[in-house]
C-alpha cells in the first residue's frame, strides 16, 4: 500500500492515488471555501454535542474547540494555508485542526458524515444570505416608496401593448414594481422557514449512532429544528431550488423595471434620465450616454433563470440519499446570491438618482388617453357602456379624419354622433381629473396612491 492517499479523509481502502484529472474535477475547495465559517462553527457545535452525548471528554472537546477557533482565526486573518490534499472545506479544516492539536482532531468526525456536514453548512450560510438580501430588497423598496411619495403630483401616460392607454401617476407606475418586490420579500420569508432546518446528526444517510441530540444541535446553530428524516436531510436541495426560483423571479421583476426605464430614457420618450453615476459612454460616439446599469440588471435575469434550470436538471432522476451530483448546487447558488448582492444595490442606486422630466411626461399625454373617460361620461348620463364605447369610437375616428385632437372636436360634431353629448363634455378633457376619478382602492388617485404608500410602509416596519 502506498501512503499517497493518507491525506484524504477516505484513503484507507485505496492503493492508488486519485488521478490529477479527477482531483481537478472532483475537488470543491475552490468554491466551497467560502463556507469556512459555517463549517468551523458547525464543527464546534458538533464537538459540544459529542461531549454532551458522552463520546468526548470535556478535555477533548475543549481541545477541539480551541483548535477550531485557531483555524477560524487563520481564515479570518487570510493566512490559512491550503494544502495539496485539501479536497473540500471539510477536509481542509480537519487537516489543519490535526496539525494544530494532534490526534484528538480525528475524533471530531465521529458519527458525522460530510453529507450532513455540507448540508448543514450550506443551509446556515444561505439563511444568513437570505437575511442580507431581504435587507437589500427592503432598501430598494424604501428608496422607491420615498420617490413615489415625493413625486406623487407627476402625471404621465399609462401604456398597455406599449400603446397609449390611460393617464396615470408616475408614482402609481413606480409602486406597481414595489408591490412585486413586496411579494418577493414575502416569498423569501416563506422559503426561509424551510431552509432554516438542521441536517446535522443525519450522518451519511442513516442517522447518528452516538445518540447526539439533534434538537439541541439544531438550536445551537440557530436552526428552527432538525429535519425529520435522515435520508431526506442529506438529499434535500428543495430549499436551494426554492431560493433559485425566488432569485429568478426577482430577476424578472428587476428586468421589467429596467426595461421600462431604458425605454423611457430614450430621446423619443425622454421621460427619465439615468444619472451619470450609473451611465456609461461610447468609445466611438461622443454624444452617447447609455443606461448600462439597467441593461445589466435586465441581462442578469438570464443567469438567474439559468441557475434554476441547471439545478432542476441536476436533481431530476437522482437516486436516493447523497450523490456527488449534489455538489453542483453550490456554484449555482453562490452565483445567484452574488448576482443579487450587487444587482439590488445597483437598482436602488439607479432608482434613487434617476431624474424625471415631468414636462415631457405631460406633453406625451394625448387626448386619446381620455377616450375611456369620455365613454364613462356618457355612462353617467345613462348610456349603456357598450353603446358609449361605440359612440366614442366614432368620435375618435371623426377627430382623426378631421386631423384634430379629440378635445377640439366641436360640440356640433359630438352631437352629430350622439345627442347625449352636452356642453359639459369639454370638462372631460382634464388629465388630473381623470386620474382623480379613479379613487378606488389601489387606483392612481392621489389619495389611493398615498394609501398604498402607507400600506407598504407597514411592511417595512
Ligand atoms: N463537496 C461535497 C458537496 O459539496 C461535500 C460532501 C461530500 N460527500 C461525500 N460523500 N463525498 O456536496
Tell me the pLDDT tens digit for each residue of 284-335.
Answer: 888 888 999 999 999 999 999 999 999 999 999 999 999 999 999 999 999 9
- Residue with CA nearest ligand 1 atom 2: 327
Domain ranges in the chain are: 11-107, 114-208+226-363, 367-429
Mean pLDDT along residues 360-389: 95
Question: 394-448 pLDDT, tens per residue?
Answer: 999 999 999 999 999 999 999 999 999 999 999 999 999 999 999 999 999 999 9
Q: How far is the centre of ligand 1, averaged over its atoms, from the C-alpha of 190 (Å)?
A: 27
Report domain 114-208+226-363's class.
mainly alpha
Among the options 19, 215, 266, 282, which is catalytic?
282
Q: How far is the centre of ligand 1, averaged over its atoms, from the C-alpha of 39 (Å)?
A: 13
Percentage with pLDDT > 70 across the chain? 98
- Residue with CA nearest ligand 1 atom 4: 327
Can you tell me which atom of ligand 1 is nearest the CA of 322?
10
282 is catalytic: yes
- Residue with CA nearest ligand 1 atom 12: 327
Q: Residue 3: which pLDDT band, with cuts at 50, 70 and 90?
A: very low
Question: 35-48 pLDDT, tens per residue?
Answer: 999 999 999 999 99
Among the options 161, 283, 401, 419, which is catalytic?
161
* pTM (2 d.p.): 0.95
Task: Decide whether any atom of ligand 1 lies within 6 Å of the 114 Cβ.
Answer: yes
Task: Decide whether any atom of ligand 1 lies within 6 Å of the 322 Cβ.
Answer: yes
Fold of 11-107: Fumarase C; Chain B, domain 1 (1.10.275)
Question: 102-126 pLDDT, tens per residue?
Answer: 999 999 999 999 999 999 999 999 9
Percentage with pLDDT > 90 across the chain? 94
Can you tell me which atom of ligand 1 is nearest the CA of 89?
1
- Residue with CA nearest ligand 1 atom 3: 327
According to the CATH classification, is domain 367-429 in 1.10.1060.10?
no
Question: 204-218 pLDDT, tens per residue?
Answer: 999 999 999 999 999
Q: Residue 7: which pLDDT band, with cuts at 50, 70 and 90?
A: low
Task: Decide whether any atom of ligand 1 lies within 6 Å of the 88 Cβ.
Answer: yes
Task: Decide whether any atom of ligand 1 lies within 6 Å of the 115 Cβ.
Answer: yes
Quick check: 5 pLDDT over 60? no
Q: How far is the centre of ligand 1, averaged over its atoms, from the C-alpha of 74 (Å)?
A: 23
**CB 218 within 8 Å of CB 196:** no
Q: How far is the centre of ligand 1, averaged over its atoms, from the C-alpha of 235 (Å)?
A: 11
Quick check: 4 pLDDT over 50? no
pLDDT for the residue numbered 1: 35
Quick check: 2 pLDDT over 60? no
- Residue with CA nearest ligand 1 atom 7: 114
Q: How far is the centre of ligand 1, averaged over its atoms, from the C-alpha of 7 (Å)?
A: 16
Mean pLDDT along residues 223-237: 98
Task: Decide whether any atom of ligand 1 lies within 6 Å of the 118 Cβ.
Answer: yes
Amino acid at each position: 500500500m502506498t501512503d499517497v492517499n493518507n491525506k484524504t479523509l477516505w484513503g484507507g481502502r485505496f492503493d492508488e492515488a486519485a488521478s490529477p484529472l479527477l482531483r481537478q474535477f472532483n475537488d470543491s475547495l475552490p468554491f466551497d471555501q467560502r463556507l469556512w465559517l459555517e463549517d468551523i462553527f458547525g464543527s464546534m457545535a458538533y464537538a459540544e454535542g459529542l461531549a454532551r452525548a458522552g463520546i468526548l471528554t470535556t478535555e477533548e472537546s475543549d481541545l477541539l474547540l480551541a483548535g477550531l477557533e485557531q483555524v477560524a482565526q487563520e481564515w479570518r486573518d487570510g493566512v490559512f494555508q491550503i494544502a495539496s490534499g485539501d479536497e473540500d472545506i471539510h477536509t481542509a479544516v480537519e487537516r489543519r485542526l490535526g496539525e494544530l492539536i494532534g490526534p484528538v482532531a480525528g475524533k471530531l468526525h465521529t458519527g458525522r458524515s460530510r453529507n450532513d456536514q455540507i448540508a448543514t453548512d450550506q443551509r446556515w450560510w444561505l439563511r444568513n444570505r437570505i437575511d442580507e438580501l431581504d435587507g437589500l430588497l427592503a432598501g430598494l423598496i424604501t428608496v422607491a416608496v420615498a420617490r413615489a411619495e415625493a413625486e406623487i403630483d407627476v402625471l404621465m401616460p399609462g401604456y398597455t401593448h406599449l400603446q397609449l392607454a390611460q393617464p396615470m401617476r408616475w408614482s402609481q407606475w413606480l409602486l406597481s414594481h414595489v408591490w412585486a418586490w413586496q411579494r418577493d420579500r414575502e416569498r423569501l420569508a416563506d422559503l426561509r422557514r424551510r431552509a432554516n432546518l438542521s441536517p446535522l446528526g443525519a450522518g451519511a444517510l442513516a442517522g447518528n449512532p452516538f445518540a447526539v441530540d439533534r434538537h439541541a444541535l439544531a438550536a445551537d446553530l440557530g436552526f428552527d429544528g432538525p429535519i425529520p428524516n435522515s435520508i431526506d436531510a442529506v438529499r434535500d436541495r428543495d430549499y436551494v431550488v426554492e431560493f433559485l426560483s425566488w432569485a429568478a423571479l426577482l430577476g424578472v421583476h428587476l428586468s421589467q423595471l429596467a426595461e421600462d426605464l431604458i425605454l423611457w430614457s430614450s430621446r423619443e420618450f425622454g421621460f427619465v434620465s439615468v444619472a451619470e453615476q450609473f451611465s456609461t459612454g461610447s468609445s466611438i460616439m461622443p454624444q452617447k450616454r447609455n443606461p448600462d446599469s439597467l441593461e445589466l440588471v435586465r441581462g442578469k435575469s438570464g443567469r438567474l433563470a439559468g441557475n434554476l434550470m441547471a439545478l432542476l436538471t441536476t436533481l431530476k432522476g437522482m437516486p436516493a440519499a447523497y450523490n456527488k451530483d449534489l455538489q453542483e448546487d453550490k456554484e449555482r447558488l453562490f452565483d445567484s446570491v452574488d448576482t443579487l448582492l450587487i444587482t439590488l444595490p445597483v437598482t436602488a442606486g439607479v432608482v434613487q438618482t434617476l431624474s424625471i422630466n415631468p414636462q415631457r411626461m405631460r406633453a406625451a399625454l394625448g387626448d386619446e388617453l381620455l377616450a375611456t373617460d369620455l365613454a364613462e361620461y356618457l355612462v353617467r348620463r345613462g348610456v349603456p357602456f357598450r353603446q358609449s364605447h361605440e359612440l366614442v369610437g366614432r368620435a375618435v375616428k371623426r377627430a382623426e379624419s378631421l386631423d384634430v385632437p379629440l378635445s377640439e372636436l366641436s360640440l356640433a360634431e359630438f352631437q352629430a354622433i350622439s345627442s347625449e353629448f352636452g356642453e359639459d363634455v369639454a370638462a372631460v378633457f382634464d388629465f388630473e381629473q381623470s386620474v382623480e376619478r379613479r379613487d378606488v382602492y389601489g387606483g392612481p388617485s392621489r389619495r389611493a396612491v398615498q394609501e398604498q404608500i402607507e400600506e407598504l410602509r407597514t411592511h417595512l416596519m
